[in-house]
Chains A and B, each alone.
Chain A
Amino acid sequence: MSAPRTLFDKLWDSHVVAEREDGEALLWIDRHFVHEGSHHAFRAVAARNAGLAEPGLTFGVADHYVPTRGRPAIADAGIAGMVTQLSDNAARHGFRLFGLDDPAQGIVHVVGPEQGLTLPGLSVVCGDSHTSTHGAFGALAFGIGASEVAHVLMTQTLWQKKPKRMRIAVHGPLGPHVTAKDLALHVIATVGANGAHGHAVEYQGEAIRALSMESRLTLCNMSIEAGARSALIAPDDTTFAYLAGRPHAPSGADLNRAIALWRTLATDEGASFDREVEIDAAAIAPTVTFGTSPEDALPITARVPDAPALADALAYMGLAPGQRLVGIPVDRVFIGSCTNGRLEDLRAAAAVLRGRRAAVPGLVSPGSTLIKQAAEAEGLHTVFLDAGLEWADSGCSMCVGMNGDLIASGQRCASTTNRNFRGRQGQGARTHLMSPAMAAAAAIAGHLADVRDYPPLER
């Protein structure tokens, strides 16, 4: 009998094309997502007069730089050039493009799952660090740089060193109003912003099994903020139910055959991990960040800590040690991104906002154009608009500060995104990360607030 293997081991083993004496493995790539920011890699391909190894396994999405208002026009000539370049490359090399005018356009890490392109057992790469998102399906998914993008474009493979395996077990159920985002921030605060460096993380436990597919995507998305290039959740009935009927997912007898195989991917009894972390779900509260690293996260009921190492971060954030987190005034809110721009997220924010007015301006950008349609079909957009928030098109928007959606210097944003880095949302911008429901509560209060103090109003 073969030795017990982890989910990660199984995924790795099934993609190894060749191994070198130095231990590097050549991995086959099943899905390669590119975006308009991948232009350096396409230039490398052109410099070699090379073609794409597998245009049928390459998928383009316009998301990082695209405007979220006034489309299809793109006011910024530089951005228009990048989007056109992506379209030109798609036409030249013959790969499927989810361009600005495509009804299924959206953020790459939302579109892949939504289209059924991301499946259990596959390897998925993209020139974007949040590619860890796709691991929520039990796929081997990780972000890569431009040189690696060029390598995949030309060979459909990638040389990689096998990372170590880390298990994060989340025991017991999450409390009311505690979401995957709160769990993710809690995990990052627990292990540190580079605590999972060099590891592929597998999430296990009762709280994980209970998460919806969308919540699992949120959790795996944030794993890179703990330093883990990839994260995994074993596929189960929640996964299979999500995939049924997706445009690019297998169907009929193929789907049954696939599910039978996918059920064998789970970590074997007795398989060992290089590192284990235990998390008590009951100890997690709605969580916000206060500093300039995602590891600077605390329950909303806490106070800004007093630690010399945080002095620079607190000066940037304009906060004082000992200050209560509840009550920190915000200038605006942002709801969206590959972390929290899915339908479930919009519903959670709308449930808090329904019948209430936001005290500060804010922007809501759905994770995909299809999600925008679905949200409008159930009237969520009117909740946001009635609250005084702006309802925009889909893209990376205010998460990344590349596309015109920016926070002004010195302004403070309650944001459902993934990074509170200095300047991430604009030069001098101050970002507090939180769940969509918490961002909605902050919008109503005009300051950081505990969502548990804002129960839904009677309809």
Chain B
Amino acid sequence: MDRFTTLSAPAAPLALDNVDTDQIIPARFMKRSRAEGYGPVLLHDLRFDEAGAPRPDFVLNTARHAGAKVLVAGRNFGSGSSREAAVYALWDYGIRCVIAPSFGDIFASNAVKNGLLPARVSEEDAATLQAWLNSANDTQLQVDLESCTITAGGQTIPFSIDPVRRTQLLNGWDDIDLTRERAAAIASFRTARAQAEPWAMAPPAA
């Protein structure tokens, strides 16, 4: 997976709570293969009207914030469906970090496995960052995963992330390779489990 260490990139405010994964990528677009790219359908129904025309007032359609690589969102970002396609859509659009007061749990896990940083900040700091992005001369944020800080216009704000997820992002480790080193432990666990709870091994239907 991709590593994440530091990022200096333009950001956009998305001042909405509960932006669920159905909004990040509506289900009707999930038949496509990854090769087609999910970026064009990111936040589709917020970005485009029912005729497919860009909604001029939506933040990613404004000249100021088009092409942002960081989103500063409201609480419970990525809640709902477990669809990893939500992360694909963000990633393929170019987003590398989402800053929010809280995240859907499965989304945060999916994000890290694809190299995208879910950075948790307080509600106040999220609001401050959003206000700054709306009014400052530039929209550039610096995100540093080593120190868990965000710098905007000379101000530094701390963010939090589960330490294990932080390490995963910093190292870009592949879970499956790490797990395969445990093959012996897995095999002996399986044997013990089959003895203790034989029904756990799913007998074929009678």
Partner of A28, one of B87, B105, B164, B193: B193
Chain B hits for A79, CB < 8 A: 31
State in angstroms the CA–CA spacing of A309 and B79 once bound together. Answer: 18
Chain B hits for A24, CB < 8 A: 164
6 closest Cβ pairs, A-B complex: A145-B110, A146-B84, A78-B31, A147-B113, A247-B205, A250-B199
Q: Is A191 an interface residue (CB 8 A)?
A: no
Chain A hits for B131, CB < 8 A: none
Chain B hits for A117, CB < 8 A: 202
Query: Min CB distance, A193 to chain B, in Å?
Result: 6
Chain B hits for A401, CB < 8 A: 26-28
27 of the cross-chain contacts (CB-CB < 8 Å) are A18-B182, A23-B164, A24-B164, A26-B179, A30-B202, A37-B30, A40-B85, A57-B201, A117-B202, A122-B197, A127-B82, A145-B113, A146-B83, A157-B179, A157-B182, A161-B164, A193-B79, A197-B102, A227-B105, A250-B198, A250-B199, A254-B198, A258-B199, A402-B28, A421-B22, A422-B22, A422-B23
Partner of B45, one of A76, A292, A427: A427
Pair A161/B202 contact, Cβ less than 8 Å: no
Pair B113/A148 contact, Cβ less than 8 Å: yes
- Which residue on chain B has the smallest CB distance to residue A261? B197
State in angstroms the CA–CA spacing of A122 and B104 once bound together. Answer: 25
Q: Is A424 an interface residue (CB 8 A)?
A: yes
State in angstroms the CA–CA spacing of A22 and B16 once bound together. Answer: 34
Q: Is B167 an interface residue (CB 8 A)?
A: yes
- Which residue on chain A has the smallest CB distance to residue B167? A22
Chain B hits for A26, CB < 8 A: 179, 182, 185-186
Chain A hits for B30, CB < 8 A: 37, 402
Q: Is B75 an interface residue (CB 8 A)?
A: yes
Interface string of B170-206 (1 = CB under 8 A from A): 0000011011101001100110010001111111111
Chain B hits for A30, CB < 8 A: 193, 200, 202
Chain B hits for A143, CB < 8 A: 82, 106
Q: Is A437 an interface residue (CB 8 A)?
A: no
Q: Is B109 an interface residue (CB 8 A)?
A: yes
State in angstroms the CA–CA spacing of A161 and B185 once bound together. Answer: 19
- Which residue on chain A has the smallest CB distance to residue B193? A28
Q: Is B142 an interface residue (CB 8 A)?
A: no
State in angstroms the CA–CA spacing of A302 and B167 once bound together. Answer: 48
- Those of B95-145 within 8 Å (CB) of chain A: 102, 104-107, 109-110, 113-114
Partner of A423, one of B26, B32, B84, B176: B26
Give chain A's interface residues, CB within 8 Å of chain B.
17-18, 22-24, 26, 28, 30-31, 37, 39-40, 43, 48, 56-57, 65, 76, 78-79, 81-82, 115, 117, 119, 121-122, 127-129, 143-148, 150-151, 154-157, 159, 161, 193-194, 197-198, 224, 227, 229, 247-251, 254, 258, 261, 292-293, 309, 312, 400-402, 409, 419, 421-424, 427-428
Partner of B179, one of A81, A151, A198: A151
Interface string of B2-33 (1 = CB under 8 A from A): 00000000000000111010110011101111
Chain B hits for A400, CB < 8 A: 27
Pair A145/B84 contact, Cβ less than 8 Å: yes
Pair A22/B163 contact, Cβ less than 8 Å: yes
State in angstroms the CA–CA spacing of A121 and B197 once bound together. Answer: 9
State in angstroms the CA–CA spacing of A229 and B109 once bound together. Answer: 12
Give the one of A145, A227, A261 with max B CB within 10 A: A145
Pair A419/B22 contact, Cβ less than 8 Å: yes
Chain B hits for A197, CB < 8 A: 76, 102, 104-105
Give the one of B27, B178, B180, B201 with max A CB within 10 A: B27
Pair B82/A129 contact, Cβ less than 8 Å: yes
Give the one of A57, A147, A424 with max B CB within 10 A: A147
Q: Is B80 an interface residue (CB 8 A)?
A: yes
Pair A247/B176 contact, Cβ less than 8 Å: no
Q: Is B81 an interface residue (CB 8 A)?
A: yes
Chain A hits for B110, CB < 8 A: 145-148
Partner of A428, one of B50, B179, B200: B50
Chain A hits for B146, CB < 8 A: none
Partner of B80, one of A31, A161, A198, A419: A419
Partner of B206, one of A229, A251, A258: A251
Query: Min CB distance, B156 to chain A, in Å?
Result: 26
Pair B205/A28 contact, Cβ less than 8 Å: no
Chain B hits for A22, CB < 8 A: 163-164, 167
Pair A121/B16 contact, Cβ less than 8 Å: no
- Which residue on chain B has the smallest CB distance to residue A199? B105
Chain B hits for A427, CB < 8 A: 26, 45, 50
Known A129-B81, A427-B26; judge A193-B201 contact (CB<8 A).
no
Pair B186/A193 contact, Cβ less than 8 Å: no
State in angstroms the CA–CA spacing of A193 and B30 once bound together. Answer: 24
Chain B hits for A227, CB < 8 A: 76, 79, 104-105
State in angstroms the CA–CA spacing of A250 and B200 once bound together. Answer: 9
Chain A hits for B197, CB < 8 A: 121-122, 258, 261
Pair B76/A194 contact, Cβ less than 8 Å: yes
Partner of A147, one of B45, B107, B114, B163: B114
- Which residue on chain B has the smallest CB distance to residue A406? B28
Pair A229/B175 contact, Cβ less than 8 Å: no
Query: Min CB distance, B114 to chain A, in Å?
Result: 7
Pair A421/B80 contact, Cβ less than 8 Å: yes
- Which residue on chain B has the smallest CB distance to residue A198? B105
Chain B hits for A161, CB < 8 A: 162, 164
State in angstroms the CA–CA spacing of A413 and B198 once bound together. Answer: 46
State in angstroms the CA–CA spacing of A127 and B83 once bound together. Answer: 8
- Those of B62-96 within 8 Å (CB) of chain A: 75-76, 79-85, 87
Chain B hits for A154, CB < 8 A: 176
Interface string of B34-66 (1 = CB under 8 A from A): 100000000001000010000000000000000
Query: Min CB distance, B37 to chain A, in Å?
Result: 14
Pair B18/A292 contact, Cβ less than 8 Å: yes
Query: Min CB distance, B78 to chain A, in Å?
Result: 10
